[in-house]
Amino acid sequence: MKQNRRDFLKVAAASGVVAALPSMAWANKQAVRYGGSAWLGHYPAYLAMNEGLFGKEGIEQSWESFGTSSARMTAVMSGGVDIACTGIVSALALMARGARQFSIIAIPETFGRVEGLIGRENVKSLDDLKGKKVGVTFASSAHLLVLDILDQAGLTEKDVTVLNVPAPELPAAMQAGQIDVAAAWTPQFDHILRQPGNTLLADDTAFSLYDSHQVTPGPDVLIVRREFAEKNPDTVKAYLRAYFRACEFLRDKPEEAAQKLLTLTNIDIEDQLAAVKGADWFDASQQDGLLNGPFIGGLQELAEMLVRYKQIDKAPTVKDWVDASFI
C-alpha cells in the first residue's frame, strides 16, 4: 500500500497527534511521484526516501509500484509518475514511436548476474532448450536475453514455446511446472533459483553486447517526465543530489544498505547482499562520462539489435533523449 507523508498526516490528524509531529517542516516540500518496484535499479530511490536524503533536499517522494517497466512507462506518459527508473527496452520502444514526454537524466548502475534464464529439472543446459516452454515478460530486458540466447544456440522462437508471463507470476509458474524455463530478474530471479532442482542456464554476462560494450539486455536508466522537469528544474537537480548519495551508500556500505532493503524486496539477506554487490553503482561524478560517452553508443547498438529481433520498428537516435543538464 502506498503511503506518503501527506497520507500519514491525515491519519495523525484524525488521532489528534499532529502537534507532536514535525509537520511544519513537511509543508513546504516539493512532491515527486516515483515509479518503482523491487528490482535493484530502484534501490537508490527507495533508500533516499526511507533514509531521509530526499527530505534534506526539500523533497517528499511518494512511491508507486509497477510489475513491469512497460507499465511504469505508461504511467510516465500519462503524467501519473514524475521520475522513474526503467529498463531501457521499454523506453526504446516508446522512443521508436517518437514519444518525447521523457528524458534520460542519469545511469544508476550496471549489472550482469541478477537476471537470467533458469531451467527446471528437465533443462540442465542451453542444449536442452529445444521443444521447451520458456516463460518471460514480453517487451522486457529478459525477453531480449531470451531472443539473443536462442540465436546464439542456433534456435528460433519456432524451436521453443515462448510465453508471456508477468514477472511476479514467474516463480509460481515454474514451481507448478507450467513452464520449463523462466527468464527473470531479481527478486523473482532469486526466488526461482532457490527452488529445488532448478539450474541457472545463463545470466546477462552471456548477452552478445556484454563483453564488447559492458551492456546488458536492458540497462537501467533514470528518466524524468519532461513537463515536470521544465517546470521544476531545481527540484530535479536536488533529487539527483540525494539520489546519488544513495548510490554511494549502496556502493560503499553494501551490508548496511542490504539490511535496509529487505522490506522492499522480501528476499533473504544473503540474496539481498548478493544483489547489491552484483551491481556497479555510479555516483554523480561518473554521470557526464556515461551520458556523453560510449555507454550511450552501446544503447544505440542495443536499439539496432531490437530492430533485428523485430521488437521495435526502427532504432531511435538515443542521444536525442539524453539530458545531462541536471547533473
- % of residues, the chain, pLDDT over 70: 92
Which range is least confidently modeled, 24-28, 133-137, 214-218, 306-310?
Answer: 24-28
The domain defined by 115-213 folds into D-Maltodextrin-Binding Protein; domain 2 (3.40.190)
pLDDT band for position 302 (cuts 50, 70, 90): very high
Summary mean pLDDT of the chain: 91
Q: Please tell me if the domain spanning 5-111+217-321 has the same topology as the one spanning 115-213.
A: yes
pLDDT of residue 27: 58
pLDDT digits (tens, 9 = 90+) for 65-97: 998 888 999 999 999 999 999 999 999 999 999
pLDDT of residue 67: 83
Alpha carbon of residue 268 to chain centroid: 20
pLDDT digits (tens, 9 = 90+) for 7-16: 433 433 443 3
pLDDT of residue 20: 38
Tell me the pairing of strands 133-136 and 102-106.
unpaired
Q: Which residues pair with 135 in a beta bridge?
A: 163, 182
Segments of the chain assigned E as strands: 30-36, 59-65, 83-87, 102-106, 109-111, 115-119, 133-136, 161-164, 181-185, 199-203, 220-225, 279-281
The answer on pLDDT for 1 being more than 70 is: no
pLDDT of residue 203: 96
Q: What is the mean pLDDT of residues 141-162?
A: 94
pLDDT of residue 214: 81
**What SS3 class is residue 180?**
coil
Q: Beta-carbon neighbour count of residue 14 at 10 Å?
A: 9
Contact between 181 and 161 (Cβ < 8 Å): no
pTM here is 0.84
Cβ burial of 78 (10 Å; 0-12, 13-18, 19+) is exposed
Q: What is the mean pLDDT of residues 197-204?
A: 97
pLDDT of residue 191: 92
DSSP for residue 322: B
Q: What is the mean pLDDT of residues 57-65?
A: 98
Residues in contact with 126: Cβ distance below 8 Å, sequence separation at least 6, in sequence order: 117, 149, 153, 201, 202
Residues in contact with 124: Cβ distance below 8 Å, sequence separation at least 6, in sequence order: 199
pLDDT digits (tens, 9 = 90+) for 254-272: 999 999 999 999 999 999 9
The answer on pLDDT for 170 being more than 90 is: yes
pLDDT band for position 213 (cuts 50, 70, 90): confident
Q: Where are the domains of the chain?
A: 5-111+217-321, 115-213
- CATH top-level class for 5-111+217-321? alpha beta
Whole-number Å distance between alpha carbons of 86 and 305: 19
Q: What is the mean pLDDT of residues 113-120?
A: 96
